[in-house]
Structure formats: structure tokens, C-alpha cells
Amino acid sequence: MPDAKPLIQVKNLNLYFGNFHALKNVSVDFHAGELVGLVGDNGAGKTTLIRVLCGIHKPTDGEVYFDGKLVKEFHPKLAIDQGIETIQQSVGLCDNLSIARNFYLGREPVRKVLGIPLLDFAKMRGEATKVIRAFGLRDNVSADDEVERLSGGERQSVKIGRAVEFKNRVVIMDEPTNHLSVREREHVNELALQLRNQGLLVIYITHDIFQVHKLADRIVIMENGEKIEDASTDKMSAEALEEVIRQGGRVVEKMES
């Protein structure tokens, strides 16, 4: 059972990009020990919402509470320090750096030599190698190879492996199974459940309602920057939720015409 007190509480959040109203008065709670599916069509605002939660975007107005405290400054560094790990869709890896360097980007382990903080390459290589082997990357890929050489699935594996390795309190997955084979996809979904069972909050973004309905405790549906549904999966079937997404789309079409 999730805690009664939400770990992340979003209240009346609005975000504008110039004149574009990307998030419209969104309010939603997330609890520890909960796997929440965040669903909606392309451009619904799912990614924008989680980019606020992980500190990339600063909301125009509205409030975000983490662990009961109002969040005043938004920066990925602060989110990561608070224990929010995010697997982003299009960003997160630098092609020009090795897997080991990417793995620890922003939180590099150092050991002091004559007072100079030098990268702890042994640790960086060791941990990164463990993870890429666990995730079944090709045998000829080493932790010293640049990310440039990896396939789409391998990149995704590195990002997921990194998030799981550093997991703390929240893991946000943005379309984590894109580019993955059937077996890899099952592995990722299993990991998401494991993390939830360990008491973490997992937010799982996808537009495949059927896939996430099997995993999630609760589904939040977004449409055009608004939250249009928030229901637990034992109360609403995947078919019913899919209908909501379809309806949401039609309402918008009418408004536009």
C-alpha cells in the first residue's frame, strides 16, 4: 500500500514556452511505493510534466512539493541530489564520451592525489562494465567505448542501467521500451515492478495503455497539456482508459474546428 502522504505533489502547475501553453493547471499526486502510468498521445504534455519533476523545466506558476517541502529552485542537479533518477527519451547520453564517463556524468567519483580530485577510473569502469554486461550489451563493447558506437537499444540499456544503479527514491521512465527487443522490453518492465516493490515511486510514461495497465497501480492520462483522467487500474480497465484517450482527442478536435 502506498503512503497516505504523497512523495511528489503537483499543484495547479502551468508552463508556457513563449505563447505556447504546454501544461494547463495540472494537479497530481505521486506516492512512494507506487507505479504510475503516465499516458497520452504525442504532444499531450507527459514529457513536459516529468521534465519539470526532474528539474529541466521551471514551471511558469503553480507548486511542486517533494516530500512535503515546496520546491523553490529547479535544476536537474537538485533533482538528482534529492534522489530523482530519470530515464529521458532523447537526452541523457553524450555521444562523444565513453560509457563509463556517461555513467557517472555529473556525479563523478574522485580520489584525491596530492589534494587534486582525480576521476576514479577503476570504479567508473568497474561499475559501468557490470551494468552493461547485466543488460546484455554486445561482448565487444567495453565501458571505454564511446556511446557513439552503440545501437538505440544499447543506449537505452545504458540509461536504464544507470538509473537502476543510482536509484534512490524516484525513478521516472520516459518511453523506456522504445527501441527495445521483446526480451529487453520484458526485462525493463520487470525492473520497473522490482523498483516499485522496493518502495520507490516509479513513473512510467508510454502511449501504450495496454502495456502499462498490466504494470501500473494507477494511470494518469494527459491530453493537450491537461490531466483528463487519474484512476487506479483495479477500478478502470485498459479498454475503458483507452476510450478516455480517444474521447479526449475528439473533444479537442471539436474545439479546434
Decide whether 117 or 152 has the Cβ nearer to other proteins.
117
d(CA 25, CA 12): 4
Please tell me the number of Cα atoms within 13 Å of 233 on its side-chain side.
Answer: 18
Contact (Cβ atoms closer than 8 angstroms) between residue 69 and residue 49? no
Q: Which residues contact 156 (CB under 8 A, 6 or more apart)?
A: 87, 176, 178, 179, 180, 184
To the nearest whole angstrom, how small is the minimum distance from the Cβ of residue 93 to other proteins? 6
- Between 119 and 228, whose beta carbon lies closer to other proteins? 119
- Smallest CA-to-CA distance from 36 within 231, 161, 198, 204 is with 204
Backbone angles phi, psi at 8, to 5 degrees: -120, 130
Work out how close the CB of 80 gets to other proteins at its nearest, in angstroms, rounded to a whole number: 5
CB nearer to other proteins: give 109 or 199.
109
Measured from the CB atom, is 152 or 199 closer to other proteins?
152
Binding region for other proteins (CB under 8 A): 54, 56, 75-81, 86, 88, 90-97, 101, 104-108, 110, 116-119, 148
The CB-of-54 to other proteins minimum distance in angstroms stands at 7
Residue closer to other proteins (CB basis): 131 or 238: 131
Confirm if 190 and 218 have CB atoms less than 8 A apart. no
Give min distance, CB of 1 to other proteins, in A: 32
